Structures are given as C-alpha cells and as structure tokens.
Amino acid sequence: MEKGRGAGYGVYVAVFAALLVLTGATVGVSYIDLGIWNVAAALLIASVKATLVALFFMHLRHEGRLVWTFALVPILFLALIIGGTLSDTLFR
Amino acid sequence: MTENTADGTMLSGGGRSRGYLEEKGFRSWALTLDHKRIGALYLYTTLFFFLLGGIFALLIRIKLMYPGQEIFSNHTYNVLFTLHGSVMIFLFIIPAIPSGLGNFFIPLLIGARDVAFPRLNLASYWIFVAGILVILGSLLRPMDTGWTFYTPYSAKTAANVTLLSFGIFLVGMSSILTGLNFIVTIHTLRAPGMTWHRLPLFIWGMYATSIIQVVATPVVGITFLLLAMERLFGVGFFDPAKGGDPLLFQHFFWFYSHPVVYVMILPAMGIISEVIPVFSRKPIFGYKAIAYSSLAIAFIGFFVWGHHMFVSGMSKTAGIIFSFLTFFVAVPTAVKVFNWIATMYKGSITFESPMLYSLTFIFLFTFGGLTGMFLGALATNIHLHDTYFIVAHFHYTMVGGTVVGFLAGLHYWFPKMTGRMLSEKMARWGWLLTFIGFNLTFLVQFYLGFKGMPRRWAEYPPQYQSLNIVSTVGSWIMAGGILVMFSNFIRGFFRGDPAPANPWKGLTLEWQTASPPPTENFEEIPVVTDWPYGYAKRKTAGPPPRFFDRGAGDG
C-alpha cells in the first residue's frame, strides 16, 4: 500500500458494515414483489456495493484522472450490452 | 532484398552475439521474463496450431469434394469444422499477433527494456498453455456445436462443452492479462520524447486491441460460466422452459465475439501501417487519421454485434438499429485503406516479401470488407445468411486480412527476431502459391453461397460439386504455399544469411538495435526526437533522416 493512501481502520469497518447492511437489503427486497422493478432494485443495491468496494477497498478515490477513466469506461460498455439486448427483447 | 542492405551495419549471426537467444536450456525458456522470449514462445505455440487447424481445414475440403461418399462420418465432419474454427480462432488468430508479435515488438518499438509486468506476462503464457491442455482434454468427447457454442444445442449435447468452454475461459484470461500488460506498458514505458503522436502505428493498433481484450473478453468468460451452470446445475438462463432465453446466449456471445474480430484485425492493420511506408520510402499519409481510426474501429466494433443475429428471431427494431450501426465500421476501415494507398502514391515502391503480403492484405481485405456490406444490409442478409457467402466473407477478412497481415509481420521482422535473413526467392514462391490457392479456395465460395449452398452441411445437392472441387484443389495449392513458407522459416532460422541490424532501412526503434536484440533491448534507452515515418521524399539523396539520438557504439 502506498504511503498516505490507507484510510484508518474505522473507515474500512464502516464500509464493511455498510456492505453487510446492503446485502441484508438485497435479501429483504427479494421478499417484496415490486413487479418489473425487482431487477432494478437488486441491480441498484449491487451497484452501490460495487461503488463502495471500488472507492474504498480498491482506493479509487485516491486515484488520478487516467485510472478513473479506465474505471468508468467499462460502465459505458455495460450500459451498451444491456441497452442493445433490450432493443431486442423489448420490441419482439 | 538482402544483397542491397549490407552496408557495414552490425551483423549478429555467424558466430557473433546471438543476443537474447544466447542462453540455452529448458529453464531459460520456460521461466524467462524476457518479453522477446515469451513472444517467441507464443509464436511457436500459435504457429503449431495454425498448422493443426490447417490440417482440419484440408480434411473438411476433402469431404466436401465428394458429396454422398463416406470418406468419414457426418459426425466426424461436424467435429472437424468445430475444431477447425475453435483452434484457428482461439489458439491461433486471436493470440498470434497480439501475444506473439505484440509481446516481442511493443517494448522494442516504444524504446523500453521490457513490458510493464514481466512476471504477469510469463503467467499469461502458462495460463494460455493450461487452457490449451484443457481444450485438448475435451477432445475425448469432441465438440460438434461449431465454434459458436449456440444454445439450446450446446446446453444439451453429450459432447464436452463445459470442458472446452472452460479451456477457452482460461485462454481468454491469458488474453485479458496480456491486454492489461500492454496498456500499462504503452502508458508508462515509452522512451523519453516518444509522445503519443510519435508512436509507431503498430502500437496504436495494439493499444486499441488491448482495450477490446480487457473490456470484451470477460463477457465471453461470464457467458461460458452461465452455460456451464445451465449444463451442470440446470439453471435456466437460456432454456425457455425454465424462463430463459436462447437468444440471450447469442447476444452475450457476439458482444464479445464481434469486437474480437477487431482484436484479430487491428494488429494486422498496424503491421501494414509499418510495412507500407518502409517499402514505399515515403512518410505515412494521414498518421493521425490511421491512429485514431484504430480507436474508432475498436469503439464502433462494440455497437454492431446484433448483425450476426438478423435471422435468429431478434426484434425488427434491433435488426434495424444494428444494421444501421454496422455500416459505420466501414468508415474508419476505409480511412486506413485510402491512407495506405495515398502513402504508396508516388513512392519508391519495392516488392520484397513483406510488401507483397501487405499489398495482398489491402486487396483481399477490401474484398472481405465490401462483401460485409451485403451481409450488414438486412434484406440481402436474409438470402445470404448461413450460406457459403459468409464462409467466403470471413475467410477473406480473417485469412486474407489477419493471417496475411501476420505473415507480412513475420517476413518483415524475421531478421530482427532471429538475426538471420529469409530466402527472398522462397518467400516469394510461398507468397505466390498462398495467394493463388487462397483465391481459388474462397472466391468460388462467394458464388456457391450466392447460389444457395448452405454452410456447415456435410452433404449438398450435386449442382454445387464442380466449384467445390475447384475450392478443394485451391486449398491444396494454398497448403503447398504454406509448406514452402514454413520450410523457408526453418531454413532461415538455422542457415539463413546473417541479418544486419536494419535490413529494410526502417526508422522505427527496433531497427536501431542489434539483430537479434540483446536481452535488455537497447544499450542505452534512446531519446526520440521525431516521428518514425520521416522517410526522404522521392529522389532525395543521402542517408535517411535520424529518428532519434543514439548512444555511442550502436550500429
């Protein structure tokens, strides 16, 4: 770990706790029928968890513009695969 | 040609230093961290599978010459074309240029001593080998699904789908690690003065390729995992009876496999961009257009996967969107082709073997690209889909494009890699036979497909037989050409004339060090002061302009 980059243990424990709470939320939401929003809710919670892991455990919040670019570009491609596939499934 | 090039520059064969090849023994190769040796290992491995995949192709062609005769069973035929496709795609075309020539030449071309992560580089080679072993293990119950593994058949067949797809998962992982390594290398290890706009165009091609490898390959890995979960645990991702969607597999598969077409072609285009200015003795025309068109192809390549699925039952809306987007790929591709031609215009062109292959690339790839327009258009696609027209189209792009580009690179860089020259005469014979054989094999297939001959079938109606015989004879001529070419490689490797450091008078950095290069590549890291295409204009006398300041003692 680079000097000065590590946050205190408190931050890591707090993030870990947040991840556990969000995991519980995923399980909880699965018992409530939201219709077509079931998938959206599960994906939203999962995205928040992934963001926390990337920002804190993977130190993304300390990184410069280049690393941020490489971290964000794949999200564009994820949107693309979902959007392209929906252009098929929604209009069949 | 060789006799014109010996100008007192450093000769490194014939008892002189063998550079990075000096150290001998199994361990020195198996545990090497030298990017050149790892590149060479990839080249040996991929060339072996090129020959193996070629043997499968010859067997397929023999069967197709005599419809109705039991040369071997139809099941064996299905296995053979699956193996031909899988071996050629995953074990030859995808890794050959990026992992083989890319590993060898990226650090040399940017003036670095090695890649950014040498140990990761070695790991990626051995992961590749592990993938190959798993794939070979799956041959005990060989695949008959075609190289695309389409569900629902791949979810149900008794063949070893899970094992083969796991092998490809490993090979893909190796590809991701290599791509990652190259991106970091190009960002961080460029020689002083090597700005982005002084990068050789092969590096731009490899950079775009690496991005696709890192972004797209995980998708096929995930897809194969989903397929394995369906086969092993009965999870219904693709089975409609369980709420799944078989077309979902095709979406995922092509989201990877279409961009990967550009993993195959972009490095080849990079090689062509290096060879054309050297053998035209002219600065490359439209440097920035060629460089950025590589990125544009990589980017647009992600938007067009649905054109593989026009007749699959996909929605019409998606069909229209994907057809529309598909035509955009033609723009950056045409930008490259026109710039290569403009580079040659009024140049002092010489026709050594690398140039012959490069011109062949432009010729054949244009055929392949333009016939792709027929397939990208919705209406003609319905007629041509799943016919030999498609087989001819993708062989013109993949063999006429990628493989020919790879061969251009092998002939161009052979003196640098081995320290020895190839026989130019044999190289030309190999080229001529391959060129004639290739066109004889595949040109007639456009017509066969247009007339309705379906692809993948072991049998076909008798009216197609005469052209199939032409095609099969063509495949033998092509095999003869490749045999001559490989004999030349082997002869050149052991008994070729010693190569000077810069046999083609190139300006890129790899030519400014010894042939073969020493383990550390350069005695001193060069300082770059200009772009690498500053060839003297026509009829200018004197030595070529210097691309960089050299350390003392370098030939």
Q: For the segment B463-520, what is each residue's pLDDT rounded down to a tens digit? A: 999 999 999 999 999 999 999 999 999 999 999 999 999 999 999 999 999 999 999 9
Residue A4 lies in a domain: no
Of the partner residues B187, B313, B321, the one whose CB lies closest to the CB of residue A87: B321
Alpha-carbon torsion (B106, B108, B110, B116), positive or negative: positive
Total structural domains within chain A:
1
Rounded to a whole number of angstroms, the distance from the CA of A55 to the nearest CA of chain B is 20
Q: Where is pLDDT greater, at B554 or B94?
A: B94
Written in H, E and C, the secondary structure of B127-147 is HHHHHHHHHHHHHHCCCCCCC
Cβ-defined contact of A92 to B315 (cutoff 8 Å): yes
pLDDT digits over B511-545, tens only?
Answer: 999 999 999 999 999 999 999 999 975 444 455 55
Q: Identify the three-state secondary structure at position B11.
A: strand
pLDDT of B323 over the 90 cut: yes
Mean pLDDT of A16-44: 92
Q: Is the confidence at residue B447, as pLDDT, over 90?
A: yes
In the predicted structure, residue B10 carries a pLDDT above the cut 60: no
Structural domain boundaries enclosing A33: 9-89
Q: What is the pLDDT of residue B537?
A: 53
3-state secondary structure of B227: helix
Q: Which residue reads 């993030």 in tokens?
A: A15
CB contact under 8 A, B302 and A77: yes
Asked if residue A50 is part of any domain, the answer here is yes
Q: Evaluate if residue B462 carries a pLDDT over 50.
A: yes
Q: Which residue has the higher pLDDT, B545 or A77?
A: A77
**Chain A window 21-80: which residues touch B at a Cβ cutoff of 8 Å?**
66, 70, 73-74, 77, 80
CA dist B7 and B282 (Å) reads 21
Nearest in space to B399 (alpha carbons), one of B369, B438, B371: B438
Residue B555 confidence class, pLDDT cut points 50, 70, 90: very low
More confident residue, B6 or B119: B119
pLDDT value for B440: 97
Pairwise CB contact (< 8 Å): B255 & A92: no
Q: Provide the 3-class DSSP secondary structure of residue B442.
A: helix
Residue B117 CA from chain centroid, whole number: 23
DSSP B88: I
CB atoms B315 and A85 under 8 Å: no
Residue A67 belongs to a domain = yes
The beta strand positions in B129-225, using DSSP E, are none
Among A81, A90, A92, whose Cβ lies nearest the Cβ of B255? A81
A1: in domain: no
Q: CA angle B54-B55-B61, nearest 5°? A: 90
pTM for the full predicted model: 0.91
* Spatial distance between the Cα atoms of B277 and B290, rounded to a whole number of angstroms: 13
Q: Residue B141 — pLDDT band, cuts 50, 70, 90?
A: confident
- Say yes or no to pLDDT of B309 above 90: yes
Q: How far apart are CA B317 and CA A86, in angstroms?
A: 10
**pLDDT over 60 at B5, yes or no:** no
Least confident piece of the model among B52-61, B145-154, B381-390, B420-429: B145-154
- pLDDT tier at A5 (50, 70, 90 boundaries)? low
Distances (CA, A) of B272 to B3, B100, B296, B309, B390: 24, 16, 18, 31, 25
Q: What is the pLDDT of residues B340-367, one digit of tens each?
A: 999 999 999 999 999 999 999 999 999 9
3-state secondary structure at position B527: strand
In whole angstroms, what is the distance from residue B94 CA to residue B39 CA?
Answer: 14
Task: Round the average pLDDT of chain B to a whole number and report it.
Answer: 92
The secondary structure element, H or E, covering residue B522 is none
3-state secondary structure of B459: coil
B interface mutation test: which of A70, A73, A87, A88 has the most B CBs within 10 A? A88
Among the listed residues B98, B41, B87, B432, the one whose alpha carbon sits nearest the alpha carbon of residue B265: B98
Q: What is the pLDDT of residue B469?
A: 97
**B248 close to A (CB below 8 A):** yes
* Coil, strand or helix at A64: coil
Question: B524: how many CB neighbours lie within 10 A of its CB?
Answer: 13
User: Does some domain include residue A56?
Assistant: yes
A2 is a domain residue: no
Between A and B, how many CB-CB pairs are < 8 A?
46
What is the interface pTM, i.e. ipTM, of the complex? 0.84
Phi, psi dihedrals of residue B11, rounded to the nearest 5°: -100, 130
Q: Which SS3 state, helix, strand or coil, does residue B433 take? A: helix
Query: Looking at residue B284, what DSSP letter applies?
Result: P
Looking at chain B, the whole-number percentage of residues with pLDDT higher than 70 is: 94
Q: Which residue of A has its CA nearest to B322?
A: A84
Any chain B CB within 8 A of the CB of A85?
yes
DSSP-derived secondary structure letter, B401: I
CB neighbours of residue A40 within 10 Å? 11
**How far is Cα B310 from Cα B171, in angstroms, rounded to an integer?**
29
Binary contact (B317, A91; C-beta < 8 A): yes
The CATH architecture annotation of domain B47-495 reads Up-down Bundle (1.20)
